[in-house]
Amino acid sequence: MGMAMIEKIDRLLPGWIKESGPEGEVVLSSRIRLARNLRDLPFPHYAGEKQLEEVINLTEKALKQPAPDKGRLKLVRLDAIDQLERMVLLEKHLISPNLVKNPAHRGVILRDDECLAIMINEEDHLRIQAMLSGLQLDKAWELADKIDDYLEASLDYAFDEERGYLTACPTNVGTGLRVSVMVHLPALGMVGQVKKVLAALAHVGLNVRGVYGEGTESVGNLFQISNQVTLGHSEEDLVGKLVSLTRQVVEQEKTARRALLKESRVQLENKVYRAYGLLTQSRLLNSHEAMLLLSDLLLGVEAGLVPTVRAQAVKELFLLIRVAILQQLIGKELQPEERDYYRAMVIREHLK
């Protein structure tokens, strides 16, 4: 792989995917999202163009206030970039499908490492998001809370003494907090336990979805687990609850991995090495098949079966093979069959 390509990949990837955090062999990332609205303006859904613009202007002004450690933040107006770039932001989990569909008078503020993003005029005026690698919800909460305080110093939030922060969707009222983790559960999938484990989470009030949020199916044994309610609980409670339940899931996945290594080692090695063979030799790969193979390979790498491959390289590929990111990487628009060719090429190169 040429230096130019390596640099391009480095620029394209958000900070949270480039390193492994605590419990990184099961938890890919931790995300905190805060919904906030400005007091005297209607929710984006009902706001006119002038009002939406006002939200952008007020937020931009708020960002000019000096702050000790907020990092470099830049505002990207979604109607000022093309559709491909918007899709890239979506695939990196920095904006929502809603913003891709309605880019006019909408924006996103990004910190240079992309671990911090603030969506403007999505369902709420502001959606502050902090995303870190591994199980670091406490740290992500600190980061989001800090930037929230910083903005609140110069913005007038819609807040009610009894109900807390007011939001467009009733499920976010109160703290306006969404806490989520992205987990990789290949062993539970292999032993047929994944449905049972995830159903137990739904039972205690958590949401389980595919990686791209509501209505998306899980691909490659990746799941997003988040809180359902925010009203009547403190932020610390919500974060603490998800941390302890995630730890239980991590333990269940690790137990399943140990059992596979002990009881079905040859079958596991076969699955892992077949995936490795296909990923390092294929000339055409569609994204669905690639995700399944990467999931199998990552399980093998984390279990110490493929010492020559870095776990991080496999995780990075989960993002690099997405349609828009792939096109951004290759530097041109690709027809579906060309995508399969370049996807296979990027995988082969990245696993070397």
DSSP string, 268-315: HHHHHHHHHHHHHH-S---HHHHHHHHHHHHHHHHTTS-TTS-HHHHH
Which residues pair with residue 77 across a beta bridge? 107
Structure confidence by residue, pLDDT tens digits, 175-212 = 788 999 999 999 999 988 988 998 899 888 888 887 65
Checking if the pLDDT of 161 tops 90, the result is no
Average pLDDT score over residue span 3-29: 90
Q: What percent of the chain has pLDDT over 90?
A: 59
Closest CA to 178 of 256, 233, 255: 233
- What is the pLDDT, as a whole number, of residue 41? 77
Window from 167-181, 187-201, 231-245 with minimum mean pLDDT:
167-181
Complete domains list, the chain, with CATH: 12-257 (3.30.590.10), 264-350 (no CATH)
pLDDT band at residue 237, thresholds of 50, 70 and 90?
Answer: confident
Average pLDDT score over residue span 325-343: 93
pLDDT band at residue 214, thresholds of 50, 70 and 90?
Answer: low
Q: How many other C-beta atoms are found inside a 10 Å radius of the C-beta of residue 292?
A: 17
- What is the pLDDT, as a whole number, of residue 17? 92
Residue ranges of E strands in 13-115: 27-36, 73-77, 107-111
Can you tell me the distance from the alpha carbon of 108 to that of 74, in angstroms, rounded to the nearest whole number? 8
